[in-house]
Structure 1
């Protein structure tokens, strides 16, 4: 199972990492657009579809058409962790390559949004102070790396739960007899 975790996790990680890296390089120095988050999570779902493929293959080829929920879930979560490591590495490489200070750019964008809403005075000062504190936190790799990892891991766990639940039923997409 470790080989499948590493193989499918690497495939998922390369897919999500390459797209993340390309989008980060293409939009260097700018805050994510209105569709940036949607594109990011859609990319994660596409890449993490390898979890479904890996569980189905394990069930049909290695398990003779049967897999229990917990081993299937473990396989999926393992793939998610490996893909998450690639995701974090791609983010770090892309921001280093572009010189993007994401904490500052993101904080500035949120402050500008608050100003556009008409927030002013003490409320704006408090929000600005919170965003500057975020910048300092984001500059610390011990805070940033788990934060970036936590973007992809819940998606992987959700895909793993759904895939394990569906594929634990041997009647769902049964193996073809040759």
Structure 2
């Protein structure tokens, strides 16, 4: 089981980290806000399809074609955890390689978005103060690392729940017998 978790977790982590690197390189920094979240979460779902494949492989090869919900969910969480760790490592490496100041870019984009919506001067002043606090917090790795992990892990939990629910039924995509 541990081997399956590590194998598929690394696959998912490399996929999401690779997409992350390509995305930020293609946009020469942070992608526009309206596309960034769509690109990011779509990439996570593609990468986390390894959760489904890992659970299925564990069910079909290691467990004789039968797995309960909780063991399947555990495998999914393990794969998601490894993928999350690699996602954080990729993010930190990307920031170090590109010398990108994500917090400033993000803050400026949020403020510009609110200005474009016609926010009042008072609301913009409060938002600017909040963004300054965010920049200070984001500079601290004890804030940034768990925050980055929390971007992908809930998606992994959801994929794990759905995958475990489907794959606990041995008739769902049964193992091929050769």
TM-score by length of 1: 0.95
Where do 1:24-173 residues align within 5 Å?
Answer: 24-173=24-173
Q: Give the unaligned 5+ runs of structure 2.
A: none
Q: What is the Cα deviation at residue 33 of structure 1?
A: 4.3
Higher alpha-carbon deviation: 120-129 or 132-141: 120-129
2:111·2:127 contact (CA, 8 Å) conserved in 1? Answer: yes
Which residue of 2 is the match for residue 3 of structure 1?
3
**Secondary structure, counterpart of 1:109 in structure 2:** helix
1:13·1:47 contact (CA, 8 Å) conserved in 2? Answer: yes
Q: What is the Cα deviation at residue 57 of structure 1?
A: 1.1
Deviations 1:117-148 (A, max 9, x none): 22232221111101111111111111011111
- For residues 29 and 132 of structure 2, the distance between their equivalents in structure 1, rounded to whole angstroms, comes to 18
**Secondary structure, counterpart of 1:123 in structure 2:** helix
RMSD after superposition: 1.2
1:21·1:94 contact (CA, 8 Å) conserved in 2? Answer: yes
Q: Give the unaligned 5+ runs of structure 1.
A: none
1:28·1:100 contact (CA, 8 Å) conserved in 2? Answer: no
TM-score by length of 2: 0.95
Q: What is the Cα deviation at residue 175 of structure 1?
A: 1.5
2:23·2:31 contact (CA, 8 Å) conserved in 1? Answer: no
- For residues 29 and 67 of structure 1, the distance between their equivalents in structure 2, rounded to whole angstroms, comes to 44
- For residues 52 and 122 of structure 2, the distance between their equivalents in structure 1, rounded to whole angstroms, comes to 50
Q: What is the Cα deviation at residue 28 of structure 1?
A: 3.3
- For residues 159 and 141 of structure 2, the distance between their equivalents in structure 1, rounded to whole angstroms, comes to 28
1:9·1:79 contact (CA, 8 Å) conserved in 2? Answer: yes
- For residues 94 and 22 of structure 2, the distance between their equivalents in structure 1, rounded to whole angstroms, comes to 8
How many pairs are equivalent?
178
Residues 30 and 75 (structure 1 numbering): CA distance in 2 closer, same or farther, change over 3 Å?
A: closer
